[in-house]
């Protein structure tokens, strides 16, 4: 069974100093739906509107499918035994390298969880996955995420249009020759 194989994989569960990172599960749907209903979580998207329950279900299904297809993906992020968000790397179809993304509940903001998650994700991407490059896509008005990427070593590369909105592409590592 693929799910059993994934759960036995070394990257299926990771621990940072304060967090447990695990493969998302169908049981996470209520938390994910509530997370993406929050205006402050979706404020910096090209279309800043909450997800419908169907969109949240599709998001979770994509995350689980990415794990099954690639053996890695966005983790469910827990702190103090409770789910606080999702984050990790996925294959970038539009840009070279792996795409870093994270969404944490607002109650977890400003506590260093995002930096801790990004640094561990980079260690995983460049160590376990032998990635050559990781990118982060951030709207110019999202100063907090920009600071997180810069603190973690990302460099501004260029502005791209993503879903009809200007988006800054930050990267760490290099494109292959």
Q: What is the pLDDT of residues 84-118, one digit of tens each?
A: 999 999 999 889 899 999 999 999 999 999 999 99
What pTM does this model have? 0.91
Instruction: Report the chain's terminal Cα–Cα distance, integer Å.
Output: 38
Question: Which pLDDT band, with edges at 50, 70 and 90, does 175 fall under?
Answer: low
Helix (H) or strand (E) holding 145: helix 143-151
Whole domain around residue 165: which residue ranges? 2-173
How do 98-104 and 155-162 pair as beta strands?
unpaired
User: Does residue 30 register a pLDDT over 90?
Assistant: yes
- Mean pLDDT of the 134-140 span: 97
- Mean pLDDT of the 149-176 span: 92
Q: How far apart are CA 143 and CA 118, in angstroms?
A: 16
pLDDT of residue 6: 45
Question: Which pLDDT band, with edges at 50, 70 and 90, does 123 fall under?
Answer: very high
Q: How far apart are CA 139 and CA 155, in angstroms?
A: 15
Q: Which two tokens stand for residue 133?
A: 């490059």
Question: Which pLDDT band, with edges at 50, 70 and 90, does 46 fall under?
Answer: confident
Which CATH number does the domain housing residue 25 bear?
A: 3.40.630.30
User: Does residue 10 register a pLDDT over 60?
Assistant: no
Average pLDDT, the chain: 91
More confidently predicted of 46 and 24: 24
Q: How far apart are CA 43 and CA 40, in angstroms?
A: 5
| CA 87 to chain centroid | 3
pLDDT of residue 47: 79
Cα distances (angstroms) measured from residue 31 to each of 9, 14, 57, 107, 126:
25, 20, 11, 13, 30
Asked if 144 contacts 135 with a C-beta cutoff of 8 angstroms, the reply is no
User: Does residue 29 register a pLDDT over 60?
Assistant: yes
pLDDT of residue 24: 97
What's the structural domain count of the chain? 1
Q: How far apart are CA 17 and CA 159, in angstroms?
A: 34
């Amino acid at each position: 069974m693929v799910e059993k194989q994934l759960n036995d994989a070394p990257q299926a569960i990771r621990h940072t100093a304060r967090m447990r990172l695990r493969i998302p599960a169908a049981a996470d749907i209520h938390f994910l739906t509530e997370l993406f209903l929050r205006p402050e979580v979706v404020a910096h998207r090209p279309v800043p509107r909450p997800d419908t329950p169907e969109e949240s279900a599709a998001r979770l299904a994509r995350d689980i499918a990415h794990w099954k297809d690639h053996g890695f993906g966005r983790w469910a992020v827990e702190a103090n035994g409770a789910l606080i968000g999702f984050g990790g790397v996925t294959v970038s179809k539009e840009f070279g390298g792996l795409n870093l993304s994270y969404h944490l509940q607002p109650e977890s903001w400003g506590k260093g969880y995002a930096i801790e998650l990004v640094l561990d994700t980079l260690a995983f991407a460049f160590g376990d996955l032998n990635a050559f490059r990781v990118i982060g896509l951030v709207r110019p008005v999202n100063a907090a995420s920009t600071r997180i990427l810069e603190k973690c070593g990302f460099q501004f590369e260029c502005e791209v249009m993503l879903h009809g909105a200007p988006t800054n592409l930050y990267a760490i590592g290099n494109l292959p020759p």
